[in-house]
Structure 1
Amino acid sequence: MQRATVCSTLVAELYASESTYESERNQINSAISELKLELSQVELQFPKEELSNSLQEDISRKETHFAQTQGRCAQEKSTMQHDILLALDDMMSHKQKVLCSLDAK
């Protein structure tokens, strides 16, 4: 008799837990469906391609800006090197003139 009671209790608990499991599974599936619906609505507002193009354009602009900045820096470096060479040349000419005037004395 006790075995029958224990078995029927276990069977009842099994059905109850199965019912709880089914209920929770349905809630999870419902939540997933809602999230998928929200995602599709967001994708309608902001299509993936549009977002991708926007990001690609932004990257392209930044790459262009970087290349321009890099070009300006290279030009400035070249100009500075040229200015330094001219200044050194002027200094050497001045030094030569000073040495010549000292030799003349």
Structure 2
Amino acid sequence: MQFLVIGKYTEPGTLLPEDRMPTLINDRVLPALETLAQWEEKGETVKAGGIFAGQRVGAFFLEAESGEEVGQLLSSLPFWHDVTWDVTPMQSFRSTIERETRVLEQAQAGAA
């Protein structure tokens, strides 16, 4: 099953002194991005994705068996707590065609 995942960096404001930013980037941001890049390169977990140009927002298609697995995968990322996650289960084009065909057939049968 595929999920559309959108992650938005949560601005810490004054909670994170400027001199701590290099540590955050080195310890959490870069390792998390490296993990996502590896998942994408393997083509098993991340199907496609990236960071929105000029923003601290990214999106990717995540392959997982369940919402629970999505939660486990995302929480394994070092910047899990620094990002707000929006996760949407995706329905395939093929299954949508099948659903809409059934709706059409039912509508036509009801009109007859």
| TM norm structure 1 | 0.28
When you count helix as a share of all residues, which structure comes out higher?
A: 1
Larger Rg: 1
| TM norm structure 2 | 0.26
When you count strand as a share of all residues, which structure comes out higher?
A: 2
RCO higher in 1 or 2 (8 Å CA, sep ≥ 6)? 2
